[in-house]
Structure 1
Amino acid sequence: MTTFADLGLSDKLLKALANTKLSTPTPIQEQAIPHIMRGADLMGLAQTGTGKTAAFGLPLLHRLLELHHPAGPRNVRALILAPTRELVSQISDNLTVFTKGTPTKVTTIVGGASINRQAERLARGTDVLVATPGRLIDLLERGDVRLDQCGYLVLDEADHMLDMGFIHSLRKIAKFIPLKRQTMLFSATMPKDIEELASTYLRNPVKVQVSPPGKPADKVTQAVHFTPQGDKAKVLEGYLKEHPGERSIVFGRTKHGSEKLMKLLVTWGFKAGSIHGNKSQNQRERTLQEFRDGTVEVLVATDVAARGIDIPGVKHVYNYDMPNVPENYVHRIGRTARAGTEGRAIAFCAPAEMGEFRDVEKLLKKAIPVIGGAPWAADAVAAAPKPGQNRGGRPQGKPRSAAGGKPSAAGKPAGKPRAARPQGKPGGSAAPRRSAR
């Protein structure tokens, strides 16, 4: 069995690892670390939860420890870019554990926090800068940080960065970094855009791949519940009541819709919180900490959290809205069944979401078991509002019936037709707005 010592890591890093739960390298770590340590550019394909941070972080820190002088004022030796604040914090937390007992300095830069305080920290220079692209550009344009001495660049969750529209930001940042550098790109999927990105930033990269794209965690039990959009809140309430006190994440499509759903769950007596792009960094960190310590048991989130939450003990993931991008389904359900545990993921599918649902099954290359309702017929799908129109989400706990006057999923008889609600309510189909930072 391969050990971290077998990979040639420094004694200081091995000592830090001895104080963690990491005993043997994961497949992505075993494959990537030797190539990075010898200075090769690398493209790694792996899902979240496979140990990617240590796969690039440990060999990067090993190489930095070979330098025996501090970084100069406002200088950065290694830059790690990630698309969301949660991912940046997660990466930084892991690296801080690895650097314990070493002189290596790790600095975190994200939007939603005081830029002046960040500038003050950067004034002394740093070995490793972990940042979101938008805030880094702000600091570069102010002259608060320099990248001309940066010899290492890591693009983590590159496919998610492209989904969030960061390609122009990446191009702008790259102009500040020397061409003579080592670059590592990690992605969960390999669309054409990622291939183009790799060809632009990497030189003769080594390619390593584990957990084929689209493969969810092996121990996640998946199911789908077909339900009208207006009934989703009551259906969710039923599932949550079946498992009181168990940690759950509910994924919504929009920021406003997720916030409204969270407030509704609170009125129903659930210990709920929310994180999305409209929350400040302090609010997001506080809610995540409350989720960790059990003060919050139900976390309602947009896809900003699909790859940024690594919290043990999440038993259930509910896809309240089907994701626009099928790969995000895999990342969402990957928030449960972590570290060898088991978990459950249930998707709620309204008529207008049948296309997204079929895309997910196509990606998984298998059918998702039905736990409630039945797949929507073609006439119901045709009659549903199309993407960009209101889907009639109404999370007031007063479910509407399915077409034809049949009882709703909550067993209530059909009521009078209701006027369509504005976009942005829970379950609404408005396309997610991208966060600039």
Structure 2
Amino acid sequence: MNSEITFASLGLADAILHAVTDAGYTHPTAIQAQAIPQVMKGGDLLAAAQTGTGKTAGFTLPILHRLLGQPAKQRKAGTPRALIMTPTRELAAQVEESVRLYSRNTDIRSLVLFGGVNINPQIRALQRPIDIIVATPGRLLDHCRQKTIDLSQVEIVVLDEADRMLDMGFIRDIRRILSLMPSERQNLLFSATFSPEIRELARNTLRSPIEISVTPRNTASELITQQVVVTEQAHKRDLISHIIRQSGWHQVLVFCRTKHGANRLAEKLSKDGLNAAALHGNKSQSARTRALDGFKTGKVVVLVATDIAARGIDIDQLPYVINFELPQVPEDYVHRIGRTGRAGSEGLALSLVDRSEIKLLKAIERLINRDIDHIEIADFEPPARSAQSESDEPRRRNAPRHGEGARNGQANRRPGGRDNAGRGAQPAGGRARTADARGRRPQPQRTRSSGSTSAVATTQG
């Protein structure tokens, strides 16, 4: 991104520019610098941008600019001019919050529509003039069927995180919704990757689109320190509790594969004195909102989430992401750890890996084209008999046991972070190494071989 580019130089309407400036932003991110001028021109756009790149402002700002520059002759109840579709409730709420933030100095009105809540307040809100709708496909179709919304005047449509919507099986809903709109409209499609499925959707939806990509496919931010701890599945809950408590971490996002696993881990962490909450699709919308709000404000120290539920989490300086289990799909690893290392801040992504997950780890390393550093944890002694199950998902009976390093006297190191007394991580040798003046986290030194791997965490500088 050219450092000379500012939001003021992009030609945004004064009312929008003032809102952006008031929010503390002066220079656009790479995706914003490329997408905003293209959207303002009115053409279709196919954009590849990972989570944390600022893509939401990349389409909300120029949409607001276009709607202000071409006022509607007559505003009608329940008849939006712009529609933004997202895969999850949390992401829909986040996007609509951004729309309201940047339109605060205008008379543009927006509304968010998603399931899991009473539809009647949404129906009442749609009885007033609305300019921008942010919605999940399922609830939007409910309104279309009940004829409480009219999409015949939509001028701009956005498919945000289109790859995730396809993964979640929304393609039929999306096609039905698109068929209810005018054929003459501007289409914007944002995706983390340009998979074959996304290419096909783009061919059927977009017209001669401009294509932009700001991140190489399937790469993680250079600001993210990635580490792996190899351990037994039966020890993971005790280990993750030990790491968070001994390091004094706050705002830790933990990923589990299953809703049941997320609940059990959150309960375990809470019993150990950590303020933890679970976030997944079986939670009521009010419970999900409370958990997210608590996490953002720091009241909830650990948020344990499934992949889909975590899509709406948007925190600029989230410091820690832990993979309690590796995802089955390697690309999901990139999505997960992309929650940290954002907005110029460093982040740490730690994965707890059981021997049965080594193949998944190797697949991830091939995808991101790098080896992930292996570390061991200081002062962790697993209980003689763990009360937890071997795994949240069925495990082969003959899966080999491993992870005896701590008990066999191998050198241990705690991953980057600080203990509760504010001191740096204590190496096994007894001499404390403190973080530097900027508080950067320890970086691992790798000692890898074709067989087992290990690493010793040391501080930068």
- Judge same fold: TM > 0.5, yes or no: yes
Amino acid corresponding to residue 187 of structure 1 in structure 2? S
SS of the aligned residue for 2:111 comes to strand
- Residue of structure 2 in register with 1:127 after alignment: 131
Corresponding residue of 2:6 = 3
How many residue pairs get aligned? The number is 391
Residue 422 of structure 2 corresponds to none
CA shift, 1:11, in A, is 1.1
**1:268-283 alignment to 2 at 5 Å?**
268-283=272-287
Q: Is the 8 A contact 2:19 2:105 kept in 1?
A: yes
1:254 and 1:339 map into 2 onto residues whose CA distance is 29
Structure 1 consecutive aligned stretches of length 4 or more whose deviation exceeds 4 Å = 406-412
* Residue 78 (structure 1) aligned with residue 82 (structure 2): yes
2:53 touches 2:342 (CA, 8 Å); kept in 1?
no
Give the alignment partner of residue 262 of structure 1, picking from 263, 266, 276.
266
Shift, 1:243, TM fit: 1.9
Q: Return the offset for 1:358.
A: 1.7
Please give the residue correspondences for 1:34-113 in structure 2 after superposition, counting only pairs within 5 Å: 34-66=37-69, 67-69=71-73, 71-113=75-117
How far apart, CA to CA, are the structure 2 residues paired with 1:367 and 1:154? 36
State which of 241, 244, 249 in structure 1 corresponds to 2:245: 241
Q: Is contact 1:43–1:205 with CA below 8 Å preserved after alignment?
A: yes
Shift of 1:280: 1.6
Q: 1:286 is matched with which residue? A: 290
Alpha-carbon shift at residue 31 of structure 1 (Å): 0.9
Summarize deviations over 1:257-298 as a string: whole Å, max 9, x none: 101111111111111011110112211111111112221101
Question: 1:324 deviation in Å?
Answer: 2.0
Summarize the alignment of residues 162-201 of structure 1 with structure 2, pairs less than 5 Å apart.
162-201=166-205
| 2:45 partner amino acid | L
Measured after TM superposition, the shift of residue 46 of structure 1 is 0.9
Aligned to 1:347: 351
**Distance in structure 2 (CA, Å) of the matches to 1:408 and 1:163:** 38
Equivalent position of 2:215 in the other structure = 211
C-alpha distance in 1 between matches for 2:114 and 2:58: 23
Q: Is the 8 A contact 1:248 1:299 kept in 2?
A: yes
Specify the alignment match of 1:231 in structure 2: 235
Of the structure 1 ranges 270-279 and 231-240, higher mean CA displacement relative to structure 2 is found in 231-240
> How big is the shift at 1:217?
1.8
Measured in 1, the distance between the counterparts of 2:367 and 2:282 equals 30
What is the aligned-residue RMSD (CA, Å)?
A: 2.2
* Distance change >3 Å, CA 234–CA 310, structure 1 → 2: same
Measured at CA, do residues 217 and 70 of structure 1 come closer, stay the same or move farther in structure 2, by a change above 3 Å?
Answer: farther
Contiguous gaps of at least 5 residues in structure 1: 374-386, 394-400, 413-437
Residues 65/122 of structure 1: CA separation in 2 closer, same or farther (3 Å cut):
same
Q: In the alignment, does 2:18 pair up with 1:15?
A: yes
Q: Residue 88 and residue 7 in structure 1: after superposition, are their counterparts in 2 closer, same or farther (change >3 A)?
A: same
SS at match of 1:303: coil
Match among 15, 21, 28 for residue 25 of structure 1: 28
Alpha-carbon contact 1:230-1:392 (below 8 Å) kept: no
Report the AA paired with residue 112 of structure 1.
G
Shift of 1:314: 2.3
Residue 194 of structure 1: how far off its partner (Å): 0.2
State the TM-score, normalized to the length of structure 2: 0.81
Aligned partners of 1:341 and 1:305: how far apart in 2? 23
1:166 offset after TM fit, Å?
0.9
Asked if the contact 1:72/1:124 (under 8 Å) is kept, the reply is yes
1:196 aligns to what SS in structure 2? helix
Give the deviation of 1:408 after TM superposition: 4.5
Q: Distance in 1 between matches of 2:251 and 2:81?
A: 39
Between stretches 194-203 and 306-315, larger displacement belongs to: 306-315
| Aligned counterparts of 1:388 and 1:235: Cα–Cα separation in 2 | 16
TM-score (norm: length of structure 1): 0.85
Alignment of 1:338-417 (within 5 A): 338-372=342-376, 390-391=394-395, 403=400, 408=404, 411=407
Q: Secondary structure at the match of 2:320?
A: strand
Displacement of 1:337: 2.1
For the residue of structure 2 that corresponds to 1:287, the secondary structure is: helix
CA contact (8 A) 1:306 1:331 kept: no
The whole-number CA distance in structure 2 between the counterparts of 1:409 and 1:239 is 16
**SS of residue in 2 equivalent to 1:274:** strand
Partners of 2:317 and 2:29 in 1: how far apart?
Answer: 21
3-state SS in 2 of match to 1:307:
helix
Deviation at 1:409, TM superposition (A): 6.4
1:288-332 deviations in Å (ceiling 9; x for gaps): 111122211011000024432112442211100111222221121
**C-alpha contact (below 8 Å) 1:327/1:363 kept by paired residues:** yes
Residues 74 and 145, structure 1, Cα contact 8 Å, conserved in 2: yes
Distance 1:272 1:388 in 2: 18
Deviation at 1:153, TM superposition (A): 0.6
Bigger relative contact order (CA 8 A; separation at least 6): 1
Deviation at 1:351, TM superposition (A): 2.6
Q: Which amino acid aligns with 1:371?
A: I
- Among all aligned residue pairs of Structure 1 and Structure 2, give the percentage whose two residues are the same amino acid: 43
Deviation string 1:372-419 (CA, Å, 9 cap, x unpaired) is: 39xxxxxxxxxxxxx9960289xxxxxxx9846x6746749xxxxxxx
- Asked if the contact 2:151–2:181 (Cα under 8 Å) also holds between the matched residues in 1, the reply is yes
- Does structure 1 retain, via aligned residues, the 8 Å contact 2:86–2:92? yes
CA distance in 1, matches of 2:238, 2:393: 23
Matched to 1:216, the amino acid is: A
Equivalences for residues 420-431 of structure 1 within 5 A: none
Q: How far apart are the structure 2 equivalents of 1:411 and 1:87?
A: 44
2:312 partner SS: coil
1:69 is displaced (CA, Å) by 4.3
